[in-house]
Amino acid sequence: MKNLLLAAHKPKNISSNHFLNKLKARVGEKKAGYSGTLDPFASGLLVVGFGQYTRLLPYLQLTPKCYKATLWLGASSPTLDIEGIESVCQIAPFSQTQVLEVLDSLKGEVSYTPPRFSARHINGTRAYKLAREGVEFALETDTMSVYEITLCAYNHPFLSFEVSVSKGAYVRSLGEIIAQKLGVDGVLSALHRISEGSISLLSPTQLLYHIEIDSVCYPFFVLDSQKTLSCPSLWLPKHKHLIANGAKFSLQNTKSGVYKTYFEEFFSIIEVLANKEVRYLYNRIPYADTLEKTR
């Protein structure tokens, strides 16, 4: 089994699942998963785990998420993106001051309704599936944090901006809010994910590979699994043999929380509980309840 963490560049006009299947074939490993879906029309960073490293995805620091988006003012689409355009209205241009005021008003906590064509679950079914079938349903209002939002360019009717948001945020919904505040319809004509947490496609310390799709080469990088983990390090040289054999033990002088602990030949993710006992979250021999059982 190939255990890898990758930072991959997903091209536009391909679903995240379709792209993952192509990566599986390129890497030669069937077990794989990714951290956050990118819509088919969107491109950019997709963090992918292979083999046992799929279990590391929940322990990666993947916020804030940074995107560059282009909003098409005057266009209307139920999907809130360029894939479902129903109409385009010619509208008068706005002043740059108006645009900047709207963007600035969105910093902080923003209340929004997720797109009907989204991966949200409605009674166990994806919202986009219900929307495609014409089923009537309502999505609950949610909130997202907008940490930074800046204007990149405004060439009417196209407004490009860069935004840093919290996990689970929908930039399509943010584009809809911007258009509504300007008093018009609007859809995203382009969306590119730049980074998730400290992971991007621009790091010079990563190994570079390529995958070819439709005669175009797209890069992916192998990440250092230990350095990428978000949990703090806990050095336990005296417990090395216990961790290596998956034995139970406790840590009396350690705060409760999730930690990574690693040595030359292996690493583990552990959780120190309130009673100071240790629970293994990653890299524990499944049958090893005590050190004696592993001998």
Judge if 152 and 189 occupy the same domain: yes
Judge if 141 and 208 occupy the same domain: no
Judge if 209 and 191 occupy the same domain: no
Lowest mean pLDDT among 100-104, 131-135, 179-183, 233-237: 131-135
Q: Does residue 157 have a cis bond before it (omega within 30 degrees)?
A: yes
Q: Could you report the per-residue pLDDT of 116-150, keeping only the tens digit for each?
A: 877 787 878 887 788 787 888 777 888 999 999 99
Domain count, the chain: 3
| List 39, 81, 214, 289, catalytic entry | 39
CA 62, 64, 66, 71 torsion-angle sign: positive
Provide mean pLDDT across the span 156-179. 96
Output the domain CATH number for residue 30: 3.30.2350.10
Judge if 238 and 221 occupy the same domain: no
Judge if 188 and 98 occupy the same domain: yes
Three-class DSSP labels, the chain: CCCEEEEEEECCCCCHHHHHHHHHHHHCCCCEEECCCCCCCCEEEEEEEEHHHHHHHHHECCCCEEEEEEEEECEECCCCEHHHCCEECCCCCCCHHHHHHHHHHCCEEEEECCCCCCCCEECCEEHHHHHHCCCCCCCCCEEEEEEEEEEEEEECCEEEEEEEECCCCCHHHHHHHHHHHCCCCEEEEEEEEEEECCEECCCCCCEEEEEEECCEEEEEEECCHHHHECCCECCCHHHHHHHHCCCCCECCCCCCEEEEEECCCCEEEEEECCCCEEEEEECCCCCCCCHHHHC
Q: How high is the pLDDT of residue 168?
A: 86
Judge if 58 and 69 occupy the same domain: no
The more confident residue out of 284 and 78 is 78
Judge if 85 and 206 occupy the same domain: no
Provide mean pLDDT across the span 166-179. 95
Q: What is the pTM of this model?
A: 0.87
Q: Could you report the per-residue pLDDT of 25-74, keeping only the tens digit for each?
A: 999 999 999 998 999 999 999 999 999 999 999 999 899 999 999 999 99
Rounded CA-CA distance 208/200 in Å is 13
81 is an active site residue: no
Q: What is the mean pLDDT of the chain?
A: 89
Segments forming the whole domain that contains residue 47: 4-62+198-227
Residue 202 reports pLDDT greater than 80? no
Q: How high is the pLDDT of residue 176?
A: 96
